[in-house]
Structure 1
Amino acid sequence: MSTLGGMLTDLVALGPERPALTCDDVTLSFGELDARANRVAHALRRHGLVPGDRVGVLSRNRPEYVELLFGAARAGVVLVGLNWRLAPPEIAAVLDNAGPRLVLAGTAEQGLVPDGVEVVDLDTGYEKWIADEPATSPDVLVAPGDVVLQLYSSGTTGVPKGARLTHANLAFTPRMGREFYAMGPDSVNLVPSPQFHIGGIGYGLTTLGQGGHTILVAAVDPADMLRLIERYRVTHSFLVPSVVQMLLSAPEIDRTDLSSLELIAYGGAPMTEALLRRAMDRLGCGFLGVYGMTETAGTVVSLAPGDHDPGGPRAGLLRSVGKALPWHDVAVFDPLTDEPSPPGQVGEIRVRSGQNMAGYWRRDDETAATLSGDGWLRTGDAAYTDDEGYLFLHDRIKDMVISGGENVYPAEVENALASHPGVAEVAVIGVPSPRWGETVKALVVRNPGEDPSPEELVAHARERLARYKCPTSVDFVDELPRNASGKVLKKVLREPYWPDAAPVR
């Protein structure tokens, strides 16, 4: 495909009656999706939007989101995904940066939109908005290098930034689905991740781009997701670790037919070995580890199903996120010297790829700090490679704990603690220490029926890690705060322990 609009045209040619999207048990065919996307494109033009303008969408997962993406693509307009989980002041800040001419919002989300912004209600006004528009494609010249999607980074370390993704960036996604997810026109893909996130709207193009069937999940409910897997014979899904945990803990899993599952991709946050082993055993399908980010339009590194070998001679690879996909250059650099790091040495992951974003919208300084002149994108993630080129993710560089001059990577400590049977979830942060500057604290969600003591968990960690890496204190919590993509909000966890501000690196 050269543009999203062209991709949809090609998919309709495969069979306009084929199911494209299902949500809340209502199905839209590829022919219907094509016609409705064209009506959206004409509605945007009638509303005065011209190529390069922004249109915002603020809603939970729904087919209209996909209609708006393809309609905007054919009109040359940029679709801006808005996070409905943000507070009104945060939404206002994003809208101030994005500057959309129009926002389409669900009824439940309209209260987040500040006064003065024009809104079309997706629940009560959308059908009327597109009803009288023609179902033919508009006469708008769209090029592969044009920006079509603007998604805001999750903001775990600061103000969200709008990553500008082009048609050419997203053109790799169907190839990814075909070559690495082993998807085809008969695949059925369950998409629970929010569509304002690359793991939702971007990942959703993997099966859609093969002419397969995509099942959108409006709200993450493990019992309903298990029902959908059985009813629609779901073959694929991408799940963040917290959702994997929810599915495995759902009582309904023992009476659900999971035999259709072929492959589960996982990522978005570190997956502990203990959880991964449980998931592989219970779900009985292949697993694909993925690593990527909004700024890279999705996956750039994957751990192939064949590299998942619990209990085997290569079991250590379960701690890896895998190897770079063949159309990317992925390397680890020393962030201080800008020189490549040798195998085994922790540095910053950098990516050079046709998937790299065009830059942040209206944030030139942040763009310059992220995209180098020679094509490398600085991810801000810490990792090392082994001698075979497998990438082992440690954590965000800014989440690293520096205790007594030693670098401690939270993911390593979390992995050790998660192997204790009393630990359901764990997050590790740095807290102030008069002696060491920072020291390691673990925040733990207990497994039901288990009651480990802090001393027991510290001892468990010391059996597996150097003493300086181990927590000096453990607090128990009911749940860990997460953003929409499932990542633990380390910034929120640190706030109570740093009266002024957590250290900035």
Structure 2
Amino acid sequence: MLEDLLAKLVALGTERPAITCGETTLTFGALDRRSSQVAHALVRDGVRPGERVAVLTKNRSEFFELLFGAARAGAVLVALNWRLAPPEIAAIVADAEPALVLAGTDQRPLLPASLVDGAVDLDTGYEVWIDGLPGTPPEVAVAPDDVVLQLYSSGTTGVPKGARLTHANLMFTPRMGRESYRMSADSVNLLASPLFHIGGTGYALTAMGQGAHTVLMAEVDPVAMVRAIGRHRVTHAFFVPAVVKLLLDGAAGADLSSLEVIAYGGAPMTEALLLRAISTLSCAFMGVYGMTETAGSVTALAPEDHDPGGPRAGLLRSVGRPLPWHEVVVHDPITGSPPGVGEVGEIWVRSGQNTPGYWHRPEESAATLTADGWLRTGDAAYTDADGYLFLHDRIKDMIISGGENIYPAEVENALAGHPAVADVAVIGIPSERWGETVKAVVVAAEGTQPTPEELIAHARERLARYKCPTVVEFRESLPRNASGKLLKKILRAGS
């Protein structure tokens, strides 16, 4: 359980740095003490085991005090997305039904008016809230299968759902850090991903679980990130592809020599961007695939499998092979039977990391989780003869044109290889003749003016004609959520 994990970390040394955020460093001893104070504050305020505590704030070290404190009090921490609009936050809060809300001063106006007065202000009231309380855990019975964290899906395909994660789910993260991310107690991990996503909280625990030092960024800021890497001699980081691009754009002349491993995932990485990153940064790269419902990574493309220009260069399009403690297979989304090698199907995962289900969503939980322990991810992929997984797209994003299945990521990857394309998204739009046809929404690279005909011709040189866009629209930017994922539902609404 998380309580046991924190006790082990403290045993490595109370003065070891746990989290640095800005100019403030929190030691593991202080994290232990303050987490216990949070637990006592929750108990004092009447938060019962199993009840939810919501937090709305940019990344800050207090988040982890709240996470471990909730774990010690038997409560469930609900991390709210501060980038959402007030009506969206109100809908999630209404669904979560928190017994207590904590928020940063700047985020308080985003809360429903009925909750503002009762919310603990993390900037002005938090220290008072925990002041004078014991620095040892309260006597609360907590079990491995108790839910401790509730994260809401990004809503890229629909209304956000509260994925519940247990102590047992999250206790795989230290093993993930050790065996997959190659971290140790001496690692220094840069964390810029928002903590309301599993790529933030879950990834944080991979390094923290080794007793490593976490350098926490309040939000994605490429200039500050580059400065932090040099200042703290950062060895590890995880970035979504959009942030990889921002980092590369700001890396010129910076000292990034301390970097050992950069993991990437959360959205498809185009080959063009990955090749640029490999050639620019002198460190190892590792591709990972996972989701909130699996409490983090379930596959990894190891650094040794990154071989640009070599005989295994094709693996750069893969998200790797299953980590040893997971079963990851591809099934036909209709029949449930496994397709042949190279045939596209839906990724299914059976693992101790799988969510026990969604909060207040029994029907969706039943549709996602099978009776024999499999989680249907909704992601499309195929495997090669060596067991490497090649991600295509969300099953729901699949385009069916003239009876042929088209996966947008394949088309996006082809278009992204054109030098005049800075960013691209592919969606399906209605077609009287074919049912659906392919539309590409493109952000042109600075200083270029590509034409639709030019990009369509580029795609036709690389893809079957039926997969190629028939419509190309140019925009200044593409809508993305805080984790860097494209919001295709917004693009579809505008088409």
How high is the TM-score relative to the length of structure 1?
A: 0.97
Equivalent in the alignment of 2:125: 125
- Take 2:98 and 2:487, find their aligned partners in 1: how far apart are those partners? 28
Q: How far did 1:450 drift?
A: 2.1
Structure 1 residue 221 displacement after superposition: 1.1
Query: Which one-letter code corresponds to 2:325 in the other structure?
Result: W
Pairing 1:114-263 to 2, within 5 Å after superposition:
114-117=112-115, 118-250=118-250, 253-263=251-261
3-state SS of 1:116 partner: helix
Amino acid aligned to 1:11: L
Task: Give SS of 2:43's match.
Answer: helix
- Distance in 2, matches of 1:185 and 1:463, equals 49
Instruction: Return the match for 1:484 from 482, 486, 493.
Output: 482
- Identify unmatched segments of 5+ residues in structure 1: 498-505
| Matched-pair identity in % | 70
Mapping of residues 74-153 of structure 1, within 5 Å: 74-117=72-115, 118-153=118-153
- Once the two structures are TM-superposed, the CA of residue 115 in structure 1 deviates from its matched residue by 2.5
In 2, Cα distance between equivalents of 1:69 and 1:342: 43
Match of 1:402 in 2: 400
Distance in 2 between the 1:202 and 1:180 partners? Answer: 14
Structure 2 residue corresponding to 1:370, chosen from 349, 368, 371: 368
Quote the Cα distance in structure 1 between the aligned partners of 2:23 and 2:422: 33
Separation of aligned partners in 2, 1:254 and 1:458: 33
Aligned to 1:189, the other structure's residue is in SS state strand
CA distance in 2: counterparts of 1:69 and 1:296, whole angstroms:
18
SS at match of 1:459: helix
User: Please, what is the CA RMSD of the aligned residues?
Assistant: 0.8
Write the distance in 1 (CA, Å) between the matches of 2:323 and 2:130: 40
User: Does residue 62 of the first structure (1) align with residue 60 of the second (2)?
Assistant: yes
Q: Distance in 2 between matches of 1:184 and 1:315?
A: 29
What number of residue pairs does the alignment pair up?
A: 493
1:436 maps to what in 2? 434
- Structure 1 residue 144 displacement after superposition: 1.0
Gaps of at least 5 residues in structure 2 are: none
Out of 347, 350, 361, which is 2:348 matched to?
350
The residue aligned with 2:425 is 427
- What is the alpha-carbon distance in structure 1 between the residues aligned to residue 67 and residue 385 of structure 2? 42
Match of 1:306?
A: 304
Residues 184, 207 of structure 2: 8 Å contact kept: yes
Separation (CA, whole Å) in 2 of partners of 1:478 and 1:233: 35
Establish whether residue 359 from structure 1 lines up as the match of residue 343 from structure 2: no
TM-score, normalization by structure 2 = 0.99
2:196, 2:84 → 1: CA distance? 12
What's the CA shift string for 1:136-155, capped at 9, x where partnerless? 11111111111100001111
Secondary structure of 1:35's aligned partner: helix
- Residue 424 of structure 1 deviates from its aligned partner by 1.1
Q: Secondary structure of 1:316's match?
A: helix
CA distance in 2, matches of 1:193, 1:434: 42
- The AA in structure 2 aligned to 1:232 is H
Match of 1:453 in 2: 451
| Letter of the 1:54 counterpart | R
Quick one: which amino acid aligns to residue 424 of structure 1? A
Partner of 1:501: none
* AA at the equivalent of 2:335: T
| AA aligned opposite 2:183 | M
5 Å matches for 1:34-45?
A: 34-45=32-43
**Is 165-174 or 84-93 further displaced after alignment?**
84-93
SS at match of 1:204: helix
Q: Would you identify which runs of 4 or more consecutive aligned residues in structure 1 move more than 2 Å?
A: 115-118
Q: CA deviation at 1:434?
A: 1.6
Tell me what 1:271 maps to: 269
Q: Residue type of the partner of 1:192?
A: A
Q: Deviations over 1:213-247 (max 9, x none)?
A: 00111021111100000000000000000001111
Instruction: Determine the C-alpha separation between the residues in 2 that align with 1:371 and 1:462.
Output: 39
